[in-house]
Amino acid sequence: MTSFVISALFLLILVLVLLLRPLFFPAKESATSRRQMNAAIYREELDKLEADRLVGTVDSHSYEQTHAEMRQRLFQDTDEADDLAVLGSPKKTIIGICLFVAILSAGFYFYLGDAAQIAEQSTEKPMTQESVEKMVEEFAAKMDKEPDNLKGWAMLARSYRILGRNTEAANAYARAGSFVDSDPQLLADYADVLAANANGNFAGKPQQLINKALSQDPNNLLALWLSGTAAFNAQNYKAAVQSWEKLAKQLPPETDEARAIASSIAEARSKGGLAPASTPVISNQGVSGQVEIVPELKSKIKAGDVLMVIARKPGERMPVTVLKTAVTAFPMSFVLNDALAMSPNALISQMPEVSVEVRISKTGMAMPEPGDLISTPQTIKVGTTNARLVIEQIRP
C-alpha cells in the first residue's frame, strides 16, 4: 500500500512539473510592443515613398502631402501606451492547477477503488468445485422459471454432464426438446448420458439418438465412438470395427487417442475372429532429390542437429511423410516414400503432388521452434527424382 502511494505521488509530481514547466521557466526574450511594430511599419512605408519620389513615380507636391499625413498617423499610433503581453501572477496559476489536478486524482481514486481493494481482487482464490456447482444450481433455478428456453436447458444439461451428474443431465436434455434434435453433437451427448445411466446399455433410445446423430453428421467423433461401443457390447464386432476405423481416420496419428482406438479395433477383430487389417503394399513411388543450404547459414549448424524433410498434402498441416536424419555434408540426398508414412491411410504414393519443406532442428522435436533453419515449401509432383530444396532462412 505504501509503495503504491509513493509511486502515485511521484507520478503526480512528474505530471505537474511537465504541465507547469512554462510557468516555472518563462521565456526570457522580451516581447515586441505595438509601438515598436507601428514605428517599423511606418518607417518601411516612408522608405517606399522616398523611393517612388526618386524614380519620379510621385511628384514633389504629392510627396510632401503624403509624407505629412504619414508622419501624423505615426505620431498618433506611437503615442498610445505599449500593450506588451503581461502574464498574470504565476504563483496563483501554479497553485490553482496543482489543487485542481490533486482533487481530480483523489476523486477518481476514491470513486474507482483504492489499492487495497485492487490487491484483494487480485488475490481472490481460483474457482472451486463448490463454486462451480453453486453457479450451476443458480442457473438451474433460473431455468425453472424459463421452461420454454430450450437453448438454456441444453446448456444446463451439458453443465450437469461435465459435473458427472448424469441423471440431472438426462432430465435437462429431455427438457431441451427440439433444440437437441437438430444438433448431432447434443444428440451424441444425450445418448452418452442415457447409456451411462443404464450401466452401458445402448438399447432403445440411446441407440436411436446415435443413429440420428450419424444421419446428420456421419463423421461425428463421439457418435462414431458410441456406435462402435454399442456394437461391441452387442457382440457385433464387425460393425464395431467399421465405426471405429472410420473414427480412427479422423484422429491425428501417434496420439493417445489414436493408439487407444487402434487397441479397441484390434480387440474387436480378435473377439470377432476377423482378419487383421491388411498391411498396405510399400511403394517406392515418392519424391527424392537433394537438400542444399545457403553459405551464410552453414555456420549456424552444430553437432547433433537433426535434418527433417517433411511432405504434406497441399493445404493441410498434418505430415504425410517425414524423413529424420543427422546433418552431414551438403548437398544431402533424400528419399520420401511410403516406408516413411505417418499413417497407412495417407500414403505419398497415392497422391498426385505434395508440399515438401526442410527443417534443421536443434532438438529434433516435431514442432517447429525459433532458431530452426528452414526452406521455403515447394509443391512437387510425386514421382520426381531430382527435387532441389534449399535451406535459406532462420525461423523467427
CATH assignment of the domain containing 369:
2.60.40
Last residue of a domain, one of 209, 239, 272: 272
Average pLDDT over residues 175-204: 88
Domain-ending residue, one of 79, 109, 139 = 109
Q: What is the pLDDT of residue 317?
A: 84
Question: β-pairing, 353-361 with 332-336?
Answer: unpaired
What is the C-alpha to C-alpha distance for residues 261 and 263, in angstroms, rounded to an integer? 5
Q: What is the mean pLDDT of residues 361-383?
A: 87
CA distance 265 to 208: 23
Burial profile 269-289: b = 16 or more Cβ within 10 angstroms, e = fewer: beebeeeeeeeeeeeeebbbb
- What is the spatial distance between Cα 188 and Cα 101, in angstroms, rounded to a whole number? 62
Residue 339 shares a structural domain with residue 365: yes
pLDDT-derived band at 376 (thresholds 50, 70, 90) equals: very high
Nearest to 102 by CA among 15, 2, 25, 4: 15
Question: Are 352 and 319 within 8 A, CB to CB?
Answer: no
Peptide bond into 280 cis (omega under 30): no
What pLDDT is recorded for position 29? 47
Residue type, 108: F
Task: Read off the pLDDT of residues 236-293 as tens digits, 9 standing for 90 and up.
Answer: 999 999 999 888 888 876 677 878 888 888 888 888 888 766 555 556 789 999 999 9
Domain count, the chain: 3
Does residue 118 fall inside a structural domain?
A: no
- 331 lies in the same domain as 358: yes
86 pLDDT band, cuts 50/70/90, is very low
Residue 379: DSSP 8-state: E
pLDDT recorded at residue 386: 93
Average pLDDT of the chain is 79
Cα angle 226, 220, 208; round to 5: 50
Confidence class for position 207, pLDDT limits 50, 70, 90: very high
The one-letter amino acid code at 67 reads H
Average pLDDT over residues 73-91: 55
- Do 237 and 297 fall into the same domain? no
More confident residue, 127 or 60: 60
Domain match, 238 and 369 both = no
Last residue of a domain, one of 219, 244, 272: 272
Residues 74 and 138 in one domain: no
Q: Which residues, listed in sequence order, are joined to residue 356 by a DSSP beta bridge?
A: 311, 378
Full-model pTM: 0.44
The CATH number assigned to the domain holding 233 equals 1.25.40.10
84 has pLDDT over 50: no
The answer as to whether 280 is a domain residue is no
Domain assignment of residue 258, given as a range: 130-272
CB 289 within 8 A of CB 387: yes
Among 50-54, 117-121, 187-191, 215-219, which is the least confidently predicted range? 117-121
Judgement on whether residues 266 and 292 belong to the same structural domain of the protein: no
Q: Is the pLDDT of residue 377 over 90?
A: yes
Instruction: Indicate whether 122 belongs to any domain.
Output: no
Are 66 and 183 in a shared domain?
no
Pick the more confident residue, 189 or 22: 189
Q: Are residues 170 and 98 in the same domain?
A: no
Average pLDDT in the 14-42 region? 61
Query: If you average pLDDT over residues 341-367, what whole number do you get?
Result: 86
Backbone angles phi, psi at 77, to 5 degrees: -75, -35
Alpha-carbon distance of 299 to 212, in angstroms, equals 61
Is there a domain that residue 328 lies in?
yes
Domain membership flag for residue 124: no
Contact between 154 and 180 under an 8 Å Cβ cutoff? The reply is: yes
Q: Is 123 a member of any domain?
A: no
Domain match, 226 and 267 both: yes
Q: What is the pLDDT of residues 99-145, one digit of tens each?
A: 776 677 666 666 555 545 555 554 555 566 677 778 888 888 888 88
Helix segments in the chain, DSSP class H: 2-19, 21-24, 34-54, 60-78, 90-112, 115-122, 129-144, 150-162, 166-176, 178-181, 184-197, 205-216, 221-233, 237-248, 256-272
Question: Looking only at Cα atoms, what is the longest distance across the chain?
Answer: 134
Does a structural domain hold residue 320?
yes
Residues 268 and 326 in one domain: no
Residue spans of alpha helices (H) in 147-236: 150-162, 166-176, 178-181, 184-197, 205-216, 221-233
Residue 277 lies inside a defined structural domain of this protein: no
Q: What b/e readout covers 226-245, taking b as 16+ CB neighbours within 10 angstroms?
A: bbbbbbbeeebbebbbbbbb
Mark whether 136 and 237 lie in a shared domain: yes
Which residues contact residue 221 at a Cβ distance below 8 angstroms, ignoring those fewer than 6 apart? 247, 250
pLDDT category, 39, cuts 50, 70, 90?
low
The set of cell numbers assigned to 133 is 456447482
Q: What is the pLDDT of residue 85?
A: 46
Q: Per-residue pLDDT tens for 286-328? A: 999 999 999 999 888 888 889 999 999 998 888 899 998 888 8
Residue 160 shares a structural domain with residue 209: yes
